Chain A
Amino acid sequence: GAGVSQTPSNKVTEKGKYVELRCDPISGHTALYWYRQSLGQGPEFLIYFQGTGAADDSGLPNDRFFAVRPEGSVSTLKIQRTERGDSAVYLCASSSDRGSYNEQFFGPGTRLTVL
């Protein structure tokens, strides 16, 4: 079956612009995670959804970042007034349940470049 997909694969934008990054989880997976990976670093947790609700958004760096999952499937990460420091690879992962016992399956990521 299909894995986690993310679109676009690459996004180049100018400082101050608004961007949306999309994640399609594996069908039937109720848990969805967003991470940010900067050059030379490991993935950094941003937000976790269980179904439609954000169960933990403690990793969002500031109020310019927002994520939604209105129907409990596809999720969109939204970044307002982008800054050069937002440049990174944004990863999405999904798992079949909220439990720690379930493996997270990662997507290929969206590489965001803010000029």
Chain B
Amino acid sequence: AQSVSQHNHHVILSEAASLELGCNYSYGGTVNLFWYVQYPGQHLQLLLKYFSGDPLVKGIKGFEAEFIKSKFSFNLRKPSVQWSDTAEYFCAVRPGEGTGGFKTIFGAGTRLFVKA
């Protein structure tokens, strides 16, 4: 069965610190990978996604993530966080197109708090 593991439930950083949130997934086939963000009081929204090609993907607001197939990982990074990055971040995996699967599996989320 598919599963997604996010290593940190809570992260506290000071502004300008670098960020890396870990995500590992369990699935044997082709996958699509996502990071979603939920800012306080707002809806879940897509931060970035990986389907194929370059394993280093760029998202909005300076975020990036790297797909390492051999490690089943898709870690999220940002070189310098801002107070406005305070939010909850969810990693998600979905079977790749053509596999017949539509179920997106989410991790438990990581709450990031950035101190001004």
Find out whether the CB atom of B109 lies under 8 angstroms from the CB atom of A103.
no
Determine if A106 is an interface residue (Cβ-Cβ < 8 Å). yes
Determine if A98 is an interface residue (Cβ-Cβ < 8 Å). yes
Interface of A is mostly: loop
Name the residue on A nearest B95 (C-beta).
A100
How many residues on A have C-beta within 8 angstroms of the other chain's C-beta atoms? 27
Question: Which one, B13-21, B40-48, B76-84, is touching chain A?
Answer: B40-48
Name the residue on B nearest A46 (C-beta).
B103
Q: How large is the interface on B (under 10, 10 to 19, 20 to 34, 35 or more residues)?
A: 20 to 34
Find out whether the CB atom of B97 lies under 8 angstroms from the CB atom of A99.
yes
Find out whether the CB atom of A91 lies under 8 angstroms from the CB atom of B102.
no
Of B43, B97, B101, B104, which one neighbours A107 at CB under 8 angstroms? B43
With the chains together, A44 CA to B105 CA distance in Å?
A: 7
With the chains together, A115 CA to B96 CA distance in Å?
A: 40
Find out whether the CB atom of B108 lies under 8 angstroms from the CB atom of A56.
no
Determine if B32 is an interface residue (Cβ-Cβ < 8 Å). yes
Of B36, B97, B106, which one neighbours A101 at CB under 8 angstroms? B97
**CB interface residues, A 68-113, toward B, < 8 Å:** 91, 93, 98-101, 103-104, 106-109
Find out whether the CB atom of A48 lies under 8 angstroms from the CB atom of B51.
no
Name the residue on A nearest B98 (C-beta).
A100
Of A41, A104, A109, which one neighbours B46 at CB under 8 angstroms? A104
Of B4, B97, B102, which one neighbours A55 at CB under 8 angstroms? B102
Give 15 A-B pairs besides A40-B108, A56-B102, A106-B44 with Cβ atoms closer than 8 angstroms.
A3-B43, A41-B109, A42-B90, A42-B106, A42-B108, A42-B109, A45-B104, A45-B105, A48-B102, A98-B102, A100-B97, A103-B46, A104-B46, A106-B43, A108-B43
Q: B residues engaging A (CB < 8 A)?
A: 4, 32, 36, 43-46, 49, 51, 90, 92, 94-97, 101-109
